[in-house]
Amino acid sequence: MKQLRPWLNSLRVKLFVIILLIVAPLIVIITINDYYSVHVVRNQVAQSNKNLLSLYMNQIDSNLIDIDNYLFNVSEGNTDLLQFEYPGNKGSAQYSLAKIRLFNEMKNEIEYYRSIDMFFLFSESNDDILLAGSSDYGTTYDRREAVQNEVRKLLSTDLSRIDYEKWHVWKASDGEYYLYHVVKTGTVYVGAWVAADKLMTPLHLMDFGEEGGALLATKELAPMQLREKVESEGIDLHYDSSAFEIAGGKQSYLVMGEASAKGDFHLIALIPETAILQKLPYLQRISSLITIAACVFLVLFFFVMRKVFLLPIQRIISAMRKLKDGNWSSTLKPYSTSTEFEVMNQTYNHMIDEIRNLKINVYEEKLNHQRAELKHLQLQINPHFFLNALNIIYNLATVKDYALIQEMTKCLVAYFRFMFRSNTYFVSLKDELEHTRNYLRIQQLRFPGHLAYRIEAEPELLEYDIPPLIIQTIVENSIKYAVSMDGILEVYIRVRSDTLRDPDKLFVEIGDSGPGYPEEVLRKLRSNEETISEEGENVGIWNIKRRLELLYKQEAFIAFGNAPEGGARAEIGLPLVQKEGSGNVPGSSR
């Protein structure tokens, strides 16, 4: 959230929000008006087509009722059906005459019922079928034969399980759908048969648009017509009986339907929304154009304001960010802009020049202060060491060990000569190791038989420069806290390079065989907490950290830890600085 706050508080966002607050309500009102208009037109079209569907479905049901009445009349009132009920009559003269009379009657009646394709009669006891088709069913002989075979296939099924009060759907082997109704009287079945497509003929006069249409569907809502369109468009044929549904994939369709009261089928209309929207008044199209124009105006206005107002401000902000990152040469180049921004750019450039000069003066003053601080840090001498050294000489003089007195005095002279290099910020690694070796010899004379040491260094590193006293200070800390009269303290110093780790650094490892750092002290050292006690202890380690920070910034490091086998361990990483002089601070001219 803190990262987003500057962006949200920028002039660009505020300007955009203001324009958006002006244009957005207009767009919202027009959009709502368009949506409402589309909704109203959609409802009107749906209601109009819903009424037409109801009208056509009622007409279809009325035709089916007339056919049902005829089937009931034949089954109940025609005495010729008696010849078909008794088994064994097939082939007799009376049976044949009755069959001819029934055929002629159904043939004559079917021309009256133009909405039907065929009447049929089936005698279950005599296993005999009588078919009487209309003159217009089937376009070819093969087609008529196929329809008759489907009727025979129907009659070969278990007819006792169907509902004799309703019309049912029959799907032929070629995928075509038919409707049939069967009335049973005794062992005789009288029925009617019609192709589903024939019932749809009157609906071809309805206007559903170029992509729309009407179809009949089974009770499971499987389409009898327009199957490819329904499947390819992904149209769901489920509908609300009192309203409409919207279905479809790439193109949306209004789906409405009406269930038949006489059969297990539905009449469904599919109206593409594009056909509905084409019927919207021109005013709605104008409102849509206004909405688009408002959006285009918002984009163009923002583009113009960006070029005239926001871009010059962005250049100033970009220069200020570079200035914040320390790039004091980030001046603004002259370019064609408004008079106000030209004045701002000239003032900014003049201010940068003034600040750059001031920063140079402050930087030089800071370097002088750092030099003084480094001199002060390097002159910090542990008074206890000086007093202990004098006490050792006194004790040696008491026992008249003049050889050790001479060695001790020689070591002290070398020690203090190195310490009093007050104007030196760097010494060679060779000199630092020699000074540390001299210091360790002094401590060996102080603790005879209780201190041992070894120093290892790669020869090619000896001429590189390091800050003075950083190795000796860590060694001094080890002796101060780890030496014991109960055993021998071993101190080791190892200086090496590591090309895999960092080829531009030398690494100094200092360790001892003592008890190691206490956990609390180690935690403070690793977290960079203040470790100097009220008595002034641990000032040496703080001295090293401070000098490394002043001399190398973030390029050097010092790490503390305890070795797995025991003992304290410190590692110092220093940039490889070739010896060029001994009195300069990094950052000044060397």
DSSP secondary structure letters along 311-378: HHHHHHHHHHHHHHTT-TT-PPPP-S--HHHHHHHHHHHHHHHHHHHHHHHHHHHHHHHHHHHHHHHH
Residue with the larger pLDDT of the pair 11 and 525: 525
Has residue 291 been placed in a domain? Answer: yes
Residue with the larger pLDDT of the pair 392 and 171: 171
Q: What was the pLDDT predicted at 305?
A: 75
Has residue 227 been placed in a domain? Answer: yes
Q: What was the pLDDT predicted at 307?
A: 74
Has residue 585 been placed in a domain? Answer: no
Q: How far apart are CA 447 and CA 453, in angstroms?
A: 13
pLDDT for 227 beyond 50? yes
Considering the domain architecture, whether residues 191 and 206 belong to the same structural domain is answered as no
pLDDT for 239 beyond 50? yes
Considering the domain architecture, whether residues 406 and 553 belong to the same structural domain is answered as yes
Q: How far apart are CA 81 and CA 188, in angstroms?
A: 7
Q: What was the pLDDT predicted at 2?
A: 62
Has residue 68 been placed in a domain? Answer: no
Domain limit, last residue, from 252, 277, 302: 277
Considering the domain architecture, whether residues 530 and 415 belong to the same structural domain is answered as yes
> pLDDT-derived band of residue 432, with 50, 70 and 90 as boundaries?
very high
| Mean pLDDT confidence for 367-385 | 55
Q: What was the pLDDT predicted at 372?
A: 53
* Distances in whole angstroms, Cα of residue 195 to Cα of each of 136, 177, 192, 258, 534: 12, 6, 11, 19, 109
Q: What was the pLDDT predicted at 144?
A: 80
Residue 249, judged by CB atoms within 10 A of its CB (0-12, 13-18, 19+), counts as: exposed
Considering the domain architecture, whether residues 86 and 128 belong to the same structural domain is answered as yes
Q: What was the pLDDT predicted at 581?
A: 45
Q: What was the pLDDT predicted at 503?
A: 92
Number of domains in the chain: 4
Structure letter (DSSP) for residue 160? G
Considering the domain architecture, whether residues 341 and 453 belong to the same structural domain is answered as no
Considering the domain architecture, whether residues 153 and 232 belong to the same structural domain is answered as no
Kindly report, residue by residue over 456-513, the tens digit of the pLDDT: 999 999 999 999 989 998 998 899 889 988 899 999 999 999 989 999 999 999 999 9
Considering the domain architecture, whether residues 388 and 511 belong to the same structural domain is answered as yes
Domain limit, last residue, from 373, 398, 428: 373
Q: Which of 209, 220, 223 is nearest to 268 (CA)?
A: 223
Has residue 581 been placed in a domain? Answer: no
Considering the domain architecture, whether residues 367 and 383 belong to the same structural domain is answered as no
Kindly report, residue by residue over 101-128, the tens digit of the pLDDT: 988 988 888 888 888 888 999 888 888 8
Helix (H, G, I), strand (E, B) or coil at 294: helix
Considering the domain architecture, whether residues 432 and 560 belong to the same structural domain is answered as yes
| Mean pLDDT confidence for 243-261 | 85
Considering the domain architecture, whether residues 400 and 521 belong to the same structural domain is answered as yes
Q: Residue 155 in contact with residue 120, Cβ under 8 Å? A: yes
pLDDT for 454 beyond 70? yes
Considering the domain architecture, whether residues 297 and 333 belong to the same structural domain is answered as yes
Q: How far apart are CA 174 and CA 146, in angstroms?
A: 9
CATH code for position 456:
3.30.565.10
CATH code for position 24:
3.30.450
> pLDDT-derived band of residue 415, with 50, 70 and 90 as boundaries?
confident
* Average pLDDT of the chain to the nearest whole number: 81
pLDDT for 223 beyond 70? yes
- Cα R_g (the chain), whole angstroms: 54
Has residue 73 been placed in a domain? Answer: no
Q: How far apart are the first and last CA of the chain?
A: 46
Considering the domain architecture, whether residues 385 and 533 belong to the same structural domain is answered as yes
| Mean pLDDT confidence for 568-585 | 75
Residue 585: other Cβ atoms inside 10 A: 16
424: containing domain: 379-575
* Distances in whole angstroms, Cα of residue 528 to Cα of each of 48, 452, 543, 557: 84, 31, 13, 12
pLDDT for 547 beyond 80? yes
Q: What was the pLDDT predicted at 65?
A: 92
Domain limit, last residue, from 181, 199, 217: 199
pLDDT for 96 beyond 80? yes
Which token pair is 459?
A: 């020869």
pLDDT for 449 beyond 70? yes
Has residue 91 been placed in a domain? Answer: yes
| Mean pLDDT confidence for 29-43 | 71
Q: What was the pLDDT predicted at 366?
A: 64
Beta pairing partners, 184: 189
| Mean pLDDT confidence for 171-186 | 90
Q: What was the pLDDT predicted at 91?
A: 78
pLDDT for 176 beyond 70? yes
- pTM confidence score: 0.46
Has residue 583 been placed in a domain? Answer: no
> pLDDT-derived band of residue 423, with 50, 70 and 90 as boundaries?
low
Q: What was the pLDDT predicted at 588?
A: 42
| Mean pLDDT confidence for 367-388 | 58
| Mean pLDDT confidence for 224-240 | 87
